[in-house]
Amino acid sequence: MTLEQTHLIVGAGLAGAKAAETLRAEGFDGRIVLIGAEHERPYERPPLSKDYLRGEAGREKVYVHDEDFYTANAIDLRLGRTATRLDTSNRELELDDGERLRYDRLLLTTGAEPRRLQIPGSELEGVLYLRSVGESDVLRERLDHGGAVVVVGAGWIGAEVAASARQRGLEVTVVEPASVPLERVLGREVGAFYRDIHTDHGVKMLLGTGVEAFEGETAVESVRTSDGRELDCDLVVVGVGVQPRLQLAAQAGLAVDNGILVDERLQTNAPGVFAAGDVANARHPFYGERIRVEHWANALNQGPAAARSMLGQSAAYERLPYFFSDQYDVGMEYSGFVRSWDRVVFRGDPAGREFIALWLARDRVLAGMNVNVWDVNDDVQALIRERVAVDDRRLADPDIPLGEVAQLEKGGVA
């Protein structure tokens, strides 16, 4: 008789929940314990800055699984429990109530948390962050009262919150040190597209300036910018990026560097310990380097991949990074990973708000984003994956299907 094995998952977010589901789906019949610091069962975060925040979608929409899924699959879901200490030599995990759990395999899906601003007035009431469903509830209630909101940071979260607040009729000002929103990821041309959709909807975009202080008695009443403006407001939402939650891994002596370092099978440097989702800085076979991806699809797919690795299946995780964003009536999907590029080629006109942008270095496509154009994401990914030389004119020509741009190039036909 073999002893029952125990697989622990720390972090009951999307990656953790999908990993637990996959362990069972792949036939693991031992004990699964899924530990989550939050009191909610696992949920998805994208709606929290979009329809859920605007009150257009209910709580049921956000959950990863139905309530009875966990008992039906014999997954021991421990909510409101934080894992506080990991001992990898004795394969033991300690929880905040002192309970110790032995494991055969352990998966860390501890996610990421918002970077906090440390400036005067940071502690004032009404200076909000958005990561959890509870924080989305608080923000939604504030939006119900109307008024003026200052959004600090024009990254994805800031931009989506600005759009939702504007759609709810608030006066919205965005303060962002870069010259356009999302400049680091998208560059100036596509960033300018996002600037324009916000200004067209009446958002005041204060670009090229930062925030010096929040001011008010007990609650925030105004924001002082580094170029000397005073912005009166009822509320501030800070979206200045996230950082991976590394405390447990670092304390346990796992290798960490901008995330928990894992190989292409999502295994850490400790035997039997894996990591996935926002917290994992994973070696990517396609890129030949480690990357950490802070997006929904990565959590959705890496959780299951880690579960399969925990069961001894030896497939590498090699999906290309993918994410999406919805702002007003502009939906987009982005595939690829790019730190630098030579140029952006457009297929379609950004002014018409239906286009595909492709980021290239020399004659190779590194990333692509389709805006209000659908069913082309597989073609964009194929262009990236195949690493074929492409011609800018054909890439830009809407009469040549994207899928055929690569094929023509491969076949060498001019």
Ligand X SMILES: Cc1cc2nc3c(=O)[nH]c(=O)nc-3n(C[C@H](O)[C@H](O)[C@H](O)COP(=O)(O)OP(=O)(O)OC[C@H]3O[C@@H](n4cnc5c(N)ncnc54)[C@H](O)[C@@H]3O)c2cc1C
- Contacts with ligand X by CB under 6 A lie at 10-16, 35-38, 45-46, 48-49, 82-83, 109-112, 130-131, 157, 245, 248, 277-278, 294-297, 299, 323-325
Give min distance, CB of 243 to ligand X, in A. Answer: 11
The sign of the CA dihedral 66, 44, 304, 253 is negative
Using CA atoms, how far residue 316 sits from 26, 275, 281, in Å, is 17, 13, 14
Give min distance, CB of 34 to ligand X, in A. Answer: 9
Give min distance, CB of 136 to ligand X, in A. Answer: 7
Of the pair 176, 409, the CB lying nearest ligand X is at: 176
Give min distance, CB of 156 to ligand X, in A. Answer: 6
Give min distance, CB of 212 to ligand X, in A. Answer: 26
Give min distance, CB of 394 to ligand X, in A. Answer: 30
Of the pair 323, 390, the CB lying nearest ligand X is at: 323
Neighbour-count burial of 362, counting CB atoms closer than 10 A to its CB (0-12 exposed, 13-18 middle, 19+ buried): exposed
Give min distance, CB of 304 to ligand X, in A. Answer: 12
Of the pair 110, 281, the CB lying nearest ligand X is at: 110
Quick one: tokens of 310?
């925990």
If residue 84 lies in a helix (H) or strand (E), which one and from where to where? strand 83-87
Of the pair 167, 225, the CB lying nearest ligand X is at: 167
If residue 282 lies in a helix (H) or strand (E), which one and from where to where? strand 280-284
Residue 359, beta-bridge partner list: 344, 367
Using CA atoms, how far residue 353 sits from 179, 189, 199, 330, in Å, is 21, 13, 14, 7
Of the pair 157, 175, the CB lying nearest ligand X is at: 157
Question: How, if at all, do strands 6-10 and 31-36 pair?
Answer: parallel
Of the pair 95, 400, the CB lying nearest ligand X is at: 95
Of the pair 297, 344, the CB lying nearest ligand X is at: 297
| Placement of tokens 């939702």 in the chain | 164
Give min distance, CB of 210 to ligand X, in A. Answer: 22
Residue with CB nearest ligand X? 111
Q: What is the DSSP string of 154-221?
A: -SHHHHHHHHHHHHTT-EEEEEESSSSTTHHHHHHHHHHHHHHHHHHTT-EEEES--EEEEE-SSB--
| Placement of tokens 């999406």 in the chain | 324
Of the pair 162, 388, the CB lying nearest ligand X is at: 162
d(CA 280, CA 265): 11
